[in-house]
Chain A
């Protein structure tokens, strides 16, 4: 399980859990679960397109996740944000369907793009993943205060001269970056599980932002690591374990919050 070809998987999975949970903390705080679902899921088309013309999947993922994030940001500027998100997402997936119909890719490859594959990480994907992760974390550190302020108190942010639109676009770009690097392990369909489940669970235990971020990273690590281990043992898709365990973590958090509220009375 820890030999040669699996080392890449463990390294990438660890990075995925850390960055996914850190970004996810803000996803949960801002209530942008739909966007966090749409950007990675839509970037599937990029991966399909990249394999069609024979370039590195990460380039395709990057272009489509950034394009999707900007499309959602611009279309959602006026009018209904959720409608803009839904339509951007389905359009990207429609393109994905088109690329799939052109390609002669075998179903297992498509499947592993959507739902993840532990053995799918080659060494030449390692360097870009580390680079993107670093970029993501730096961006998050720089944006930390304005993002926190505009998420919790949108009016307060505006009063300080923060443009909500600009913050939203920056945030969407960070989500897109995180997406690009995390897709190969967990798959486009389920990466948002890592972004939502652990942070949502962590927020049930604490209200302090730093503690919550730390806790959600810890939960995400447990989820992703055990997902990989179980997937290695059973050969079932990583996405299945990650999706179900993230939901269980959230259920645990909700139960804990419920019990504590009852105990307080």
Chain B
């Protein structure tokens, strides 16, 4: 029994402070992304989430250039990009993807420039990979309170707006008929999503951040139709993927081919995709019955 446990949890897993921090950050981010992601999936805004993450890379890299913590850059630019998308008409279903795509193109272009300048003026070459693909084991523990604060703001927005947001996500016509400020609600939601994506980008990387936002939520919505249940399930699935991902990444230090550890982001993303595919088959079976 002991030997099996030792094989699963390689020595030092529970005593490493890096692992503890990664698990703490991962849990926090998984909860925020899972809760907000349910609405992203309901509203069909996966592309906006993906775009905010990618554009956030411009922020992460410019923060890197300026020598401030990448988190600030991610949050600042993602929120600003959400504002631009809102202005040029993301709230209308028609042409929405186009507007998102164009903003994404410009944002990604800027990211390219900042990353290029970052690697030219400063000889550390890891910035591209760190910002785009994340490195949860390289986080500084001083970032935790800030992450918690931002997560609380994003979740607070959702809690305050819960019922009107849910109604306008399911049917914006009905919400408008009830006299709800649909556009304002959409803008507030976009803001919360930008913060969630930024948090996610810090942990699993800018271009993978959608995984935590969309994956657990889509899986949860396959399993249950009730929004409340789906929110809890999404958070739990996200946490499970995160914990298992950290564990596997830690263990992988002893795996071939290089013995220097596989990336956490890879495990998290793969686990989320597997969960989604399983939930799809379960959902399909249930539909047949």
Instruction: Please give the residue numbers on chain A whose beta carbons come within 8 Å of chain B beta carbons, in ascending order.
Output: 28, 31-34, 36-38, 41, 75, 78-80, 82-83, 85-87, 89-91, 93-98, 100-102, 106-108, 110-111, 114-116, 187, 189-190, 192-193, 196-197, 200, 236-237, 239-244, 246-247, 250, 254
Contact = CB atoms under 8 A, between A and B. Distances in A.
Contacts of A187: 112
Interface in B203-222: 205, 207-208, 210-211, 214-215, 218, 222
Nearest to B205: A97
Contact of B218 (A83, A94, A110, A111): A83
Contacts of B265: 94, 97
Contacts, number: 190
Contact of B101 (A33, A94, A111, A239): A33
6 contacts: A33-B97, A37-B104, A97-B265, A190-B105, A197-B105, A247-B106
B137 to A, nearest CB: 12
Residue among A83, A89, A108, A111 with the highest chain B CB neighbour number at 10 A: A83
B191 interface: no
B13 interface: no
Contacts of B54: 189
Given A83-B41, A86-B214, A93-B207, A34 B261 contact: no
B101 A196 contact: yes
Given A86-B46, A97-B263, A110-B128, A190 B108 contact: yes
B108 A83 contact: no
A82 B50 CA distance: 10
A210 B262 CA distance: 49
Contacts of A106: 125
Nearest to A94: B269
A107 B126 contact: yes
B5 interface: no
Interface of B: 41, 44-47, 49-50, 54, 88, 94-95, 97-98, 100-113, 115-116, 119, 125-129, 132-133, 205, 207-208, 210-211, 214-215, 218, 222, 257-258, 260-263, 265-266, 268-270, 272-273, 276-277, 280, 284
A202 to B, nearest CB: 12
A132 B81 CA distance: 35
A115 B115 contact: yes
Contacts of B208: 90, 93-94, 97
A243 B270 contact: no
Given A101-B266, A197-B105, 12 more contacts: A32-B97, A33-B47, A90-B211, A90-B269, A115-B115, A187-B112, A189-B54, A237-B116, A240-B112, A241-B109, A247-B103, A247-B105
B51 to A, nearest CB: 8
Contacts of B106: 193, 243-244, 246-247
B110 to A, nearest CB: 7
A187 B225 CA distance: 40
A34 B46 CA distance: 9
A222 B52 CA distance: 28
Contacts of B119: 107-108, 111
